[in-house]
Amino acid sequence: MADFPTTSLVVIIGGGVVGTSGLYHLATAGWTDCVLLEKNELTAGSTWHAAGNCPSFSTSWAVMNMQRYSLGLYAGLAEAVDYPMNYHVTGSIRLAHSKERMMEFERARSMGLYQGMDLEMMAVGDIKDRYPFIETHDLAGALWDPDDGDIDPAQLTQALAKGARDMGARIERFCPATGVSRENGEWIVHTPKGDIRCEKVVNAAGYYAQRVGEWFKPYGGRTVPMATMSHQYFLTDEIPELAAWTKENGRKVPLLRDVDSSYYLRQDKNGLNLGPYERNCKGHWMTPDDPMPDDFSFQLYPDDLERLEWYIEDACARVPILASGGLQRNINGPIPYAPDGLPLIGPMPGVPNAYEACVFTFGITQGGGAGKVLAEWITEGQTEWDMWAVDPRRYTDYTDQDYCNQKAMEVYGHEYAMHFPHHEWPAGRDKKLSPVDAKVRALGAVMGAYNGWERANWFAKDGDDLSEEATQTWDRAGVWSSRVKEECEAVRDGCGVLDLPGFSRFMIKGAGAADALRARVTGGLPKVGRMNLLYFADDRGRILTEMSCIRMGEDEFLLITAATAQWHDRDVVTDMMPDTVHVEDITTTRDTLIVTGPKARDVLSGLTDADLTLPWLTHQSATVAGQPAHLIRVSFAGELGWEVHALNDHVPAIYDAVLEAGATPFGMYALNSLRMEKGYRAWKGDLSTDYSMFEGGLDRFVKLDKPQDFPGKAALMNEKQQGSKKRFVTMIVDAGDQDAPYMSTVWQGDAVVGETTSGDWGYRVNASIALGLVRTDLAVPGTELEIDIFGTRRKAVVQPDQPLWDPKNERLRA
Ligand SMILES: Cc1cc2nc3c(=O)[nH]c(=O)nc-3n(C[C@H](O)[C@H](O)[C@H](O)COP(=O)(O)OP(=O)(O)OC[C@H]3O[C@@H](n4cnc5c(N)ncnc54)[C@H](O)[C@@H]3O)c2cc1C
């Protein structure tokens, strides 16, 4: 093939809206030497049959950012690339059946406002003004999204393709990628028309992503965590009342989303389009006896209207004119789901120079933003917004197909569900168990999943209501709250023990390890026998990650990090180490017990030969209950305490002995409350690339005067001179029944001046605490601000830059 490209900077596999948007954004960034391969015609996967709805609503800050960006892009795209498109911005009304739903809307409204959007709360009485055909008697209110609308997905894709081509990027249609190989640090993508050598490759293959992902396994990859669901919508014939209204008003009615009943209803021409996410949902191609065909281009599943009956009846009761529209056409197409319903965008776990932009459930509304994020990953290795919510590395090795299938069914069936802070979704559980799992449960633990690991959230007593219904609240108080209080008090007054399986840990050993670390982290390394916190910044000086560093020898370190950070931090650690250094992920072979409280020494003294007088931030090998262990004198709970690390087989005896010696078991809810009182940051809440090291208040972990250069040093020097715009603070809040959730807006008068990154009740200080960032000039102790908590402004007072509990760390040093 004379004209077929044999080399390229980037090859994108898949020409749906997402791959095409990626190509468009790469070209816009100046990376025009890129090729997109599409096995059939563009849009042949899920894109061609999508309904094209484009909401901005999300309760995830990152996803809202992405969707907001898409809508802005789409508004100007037709003109920018000279490709006319059908894009109707009709606005949407999201209905609430309950007070809790209205609170969810309030939170999204406040986040949206911060991102520059005008989401608006609606009283029941106002709904008919905007949507005359609706029954409202049983509603609590609604949310108005003025930017919502619908776009023709095929035209959108073609417009992006035209824009990309015009800038010089290439699209090869009817040209499937058939495999990949690697040679001299380059990728070779194989196609029937020839091979393409490239630096970077992207899996944007939609519901085929798992199949494409298998090619990367020999190069360190894993099976893409996903399942494919069947999703339907149907279109009605013309409805005379709707036609008359549209004629009279010169526009369509807004899109309706009845999220509690779980469907959307949109005007399509002069008929309606009903699209439910039904509980009795159906997956396809989930098991070996139902394999995905090699090619499903432009195909649909057979109609399955029976599944939708309840939703059709419900929608007819809500909007009675729907019943008068005869069924014109049903669409039943494949829609891919990752286990949490969010897409995979970012570095392909374990594989060099490979990326994912696939498994999109809302790819039309997210496609624009996804293209931007993908292009940033490829061209800069970092993204403007923290995108952990969609980072492929948020899943690790526990996502077998059974897990993916169960979660896809659960998420699809609860697509619009509220995510309450004390609710744990039941599907796909028990993937990774601690060596003392049975014992922990026998003590009454109510479990939560953390990177697949089951940990105790709190410990119930006989008679506690453990139903899922009991957790359907935004309130702090619930059956758990008095137990969490008791657990915190046990840690404050006596000694608590928390089993913490799945702490991610890497052993690093070999000549040059210390030098490599010094050149990577913002601060200094601990001396041998001691531990400290290390921070890793990105080139812009933003907080990439935090790890505990336990120094075992001159060139030997144990790095410990959050459970969910495992594959993210694996990349950080392995990327920086020279060949002389051996890096080993030892996460699964060991478990950790946190033994903490003023009586921790008494509890441990009869069980161990360790020197319990060694000071805070030291570590030592010893035996506990006759078992070999490593003791680290540190406590995330902020009391005297030790982390006891041991091989799994040795942990049950230690746990039993610690309990017998008088320790009280406590759970993750208590730990969260306790760490907030100390101002200790949580990963990807308080610590994220949305903030620089200085904004995050981590100045004492930045050594600008150390001789080594490190990523972010120049940016941080610059920030030091210019001053930071925001500053991390601890606030005490006059909260009502709820503490501040993540990304609540902080106000001074009529201006938003910051946001919260975590909020919880502190049982030792007896107050509601919010951690967050505010404008630097307001980060002054005593400043009175307000936090919008589910729509109510609550007074919040900035606290001194020190822990609320035990400000001088005397209890830790005791
Ligand atoms: C009925 C229905 C309604 C929907 N409505 C909406 C909606 O209203 N709003 C919304 O946001 N989302 C909606 N969606 C979801 C949306 O369709 C998808 O999220 C989106 O189309 C995904 O785009 P994509 O580019 O990731 O994948 P796809 O469109 O599936 O594109 C992947 C492409 O990769 C190609 N490909 C695969 N393997 C190879 C290979 N080996 N070589 C080359 N090419 C390959 C495929 O042919 C395909 O064209 C709907 C989905 C369904 C099923």
Whole-number pLDDT of residue 164: 98
Nearest CA to ligand 1 atom 37: 205
Mean pLDDT over 504-532 rounds to: 97
Mutate-to-test residue for ligand 1 from 158, 299, 364, highest number of ligand atoms within 8 A of CB: 364
Ligand 1 center from residue 364 Cα (angstroms): 8
Half-sphere exposure at residue 429, Cβ-oriented, CA atoms within 13 angstroms: 12
Ligand 1 center from residue 801 Cα (angstroms): 49
Distance CA 697, CA 694 (A): 5
- Amino acid, single-letter form, for residue 123: A
Percent of the chain's residues with pLDDT above 70: 100
Q: Which residues contact 208 (CB under 8 A, 6 or more apart)?
A: 14, 45, 292
Mutate-to-test residue for ligand 1 from 21, 46, 305, highest number of ligand atoms within 8 A of CB: 46
| pLDDT tens column, 700-715 | 999 999 999 999 999 9
Three-state secondary structure readout of 421-480: CCCCCCCCCCCECCCCHHHHHHCCEEEEEECCEEEEEEECCCCCCCCCHHHCCCCCCCCC
Whole-number pLDDT of residue 662: 98
| pLDDT tens column, 172-211 | 999 999 999 999 999 999 999 999 999 999 999 999 999 9
Distance CA 757, CA 679 (A): 11
**Residue 485 — very low, low, confident or very high, per pLDDT cuts 50/70/90?**
very high
Q: Measured from the CB, is residue 212 less than 6 Å from ligand 1?
A: yes
CA angle 2, 378, 73 (to 5 degrees): 95
Q: Measured from the CB, is residue 47 less than 6 Å from ligand 1?
A: yes
Distance CA 788, CA 810 (A): 34
Atom of ligand 1 nearest to the CA of 332: 1
Q: Measured from the CB, is residue 208 less than 6 Å from ligand 1?
A: yes
Mean pLDDT over 123-152 rounds to: 97
| pLDDT tens column, 318-331 | 999 999 999 999 99
Phi, psi of 812 (to 5 degrees): -65, -35
| pLDDT tens column, 113-126 | 999 999 999 999 99
Long-range contacts: 433-436, Cβ < 8 Å, 24+? Answer: 433/501, 434/499, 434/501, 434/502, 434/591, 434/651, 435/501, 435/591, 435/648, 435/649, 435/651, 435/652, 436/499, 436/591, 436/651, 436/652, 436/655
Cross-strand bridge partners of residue 786: 747, 795
Q: Measured from the CB, is residue 447 less than 6 Å from ligand 1?
A: no
**Residue 571 — very low, low, confident or very high, per pLDDT cuts 50/70/90?**
very high
Q: Measured from the CB, is residue 364 less than 6 Å from ligand 1?
A: yes
Ligand 1 center from residue 585 Cα (angstroms): 36
Q: Measured from the CB, is residue 330 less than 6 Å from ligand 1?
A: no
Distance CA 594, CA 455 (A): 13
Q: Which residues contact 456 (CB under 8 A, 6 or more apart)?
A: 440, 443, 445, 446, 447, 448, 498, 499, 665, 666, 667, 668
Atom of ligand 1 nearest to the CA of 361: 19
Q: Among candidates 583, 56, 1, 8, which has minimal Cα distance to 365?
A: 56
Alpha helix ranges (H) inside 560-691:
566-576, 600-605, 651-660, 668-677
Query: Three-class SS of residue 601?
Result: helix
DSSP letter for each residue of 668-699: HHHHHHHHHHTT---BTTTBSTTSBTTTTT-G
Nearest CA to ligand 1 atom 41: 177
Q: Measured from the CB, is residue 617 less than 6 Å from ligand 1?
A: no
Long-range contacts: 529-535, Cβ < 8 Å, 24+? Answer: 529/618, 529/619, 529/620, 530/617, 530/618, 530/619, 531/617, 531/618, 531/619, 531/632, 531/634, 532/617, 533/701, 534/559, 534/701, 535/693, 535/698, 535/701, 535/702
**Residue 601 — very low, low, confident or very high, per pLDDT cuts 50/70/90?**
very high
Ligand 1 center from residue 365 Cα (angstroms): 12
Ligand 1 center from residue 402 Cα (angstroms): 23
Nearest CA to ligand 1 atom 2: 50
Ligand 1 center from residue 47 Cα (angstroms): 4
Distance CA 720, CA 693 (A): 11
Atom of ligand 1 nearest to the CA of 232: 1
Phi, psi of 714 (to 5 degrees): -60, -45
Nearest CA to ligand 1 atom 48: 45
pTM: 0.97
Nearest CA to ligand 1 atom 14: 50
Distance CA 621, CA 529 (A): 10
Cβ distance 549 to 569 under 8 Å?
Answer: no
Q: Measured from the CB, is residue 336 less than 6 Å from ligand 1?
A: no
* Token pair of 276 as six digits: 């439910």
Does the CA dihedral 362-367-369-373 come out positive or negative? Answer: positive
Atom of ligand 1 nearest to the CA of 191: 42
* pLDDT value at 674 more than 70: yes
Whole-number pLDDT of residue 98: 98
The secondary structure element, H or E, covering residue 710 is none
* Token pair of 467 as six digits: 């139903």
Q: Measured from the CB, is residue 45 less than 6 Å from ligand 1?
A: yes
Rg over CA atoms, the chain: 27
Q: Measured from the CB, is residue 369 less than 6 Å from ligand 1?
A: no
Nearest CA to ligand 1 atom 34: 14
Atom of ligand 1 nearest to the CA of 17: 25
Nearest CA to ligand 1 atom 12: 362
Mean pLDDT over 276-305 rounds to: 96
| pLDDT tens column, 210-247 | 999 999 999 999 999 999 999 999 999 999 999 999 99
Nearest CA to ligand 1 atom 53: 333
Q: Measured from the CB, is residue 46 less than 6 Å from ligand 1?
A: yes
* Token pair of 464 as six digits: 């506690």
Whole-number pLDDT of residue 1: 54
Q: Measured from the CB, is residue 331 less than 6 Å from ligand 1?
A: yes
Whole-number pLDDT of residue 136: 98
Cross-strand bridge partners of residue 614: none
Q: Measured from the CB, is residue 13 less than 6 Å from ligand 1?
A: yes
Mean pLDDT over 93-108 rounds to: 98
**Residues composing the chain:** 814
**Residue 2 — very low, low, confident or very high, per pLDDT cuts 50/70/90?**
low
Q: Among candidates 161, 179, 178, which has minimal Cα distance to 170?
A: 161
Mutate-to-test residue for ligand 1 from 173, 335, 342, highest number of ligand atoms within 8 A of CB: 335
Phi, psi of 148 (to 5 degrees): -65, 155
Ligand 1 center from residue 334 Cα (angstroms): 8
Q: Measured from the CB, is residue 274 less than 6 Å from ligand 1?
A: no
Cβ distance 538 to 689 under 8 Å?
Answer: yes
Q: Measured from the CB, is residue 161 less than 6 Å from ligand 1?
A: no
Q: Measured from the CB, is residue 257 less than 6 Å from ligand 1?
A: no
Mean pLDDT over 79-93 rounds to: 97
Whole-number pLDDT of residue 322: 97
Q: Which residues contact 335 (CB under 8 A, 6 or more apart)?
A: 46, 207, 228, 229, 230, 231, 361
Distance CA 125, CA 579 (A): 68
Q: Measured from the CB, is residue 773 less than 6 Å from ligand 1?
A: no
Q: Measured from the CB, is residue 333 less than 6 Å from ligand 1?
A: yes
Atom of ligand 1 nearest to the CA of 14: 34
Whole-number pLDDT of residue 456: 98
Atom of ligand 1 nearest to the CA of 157: 25
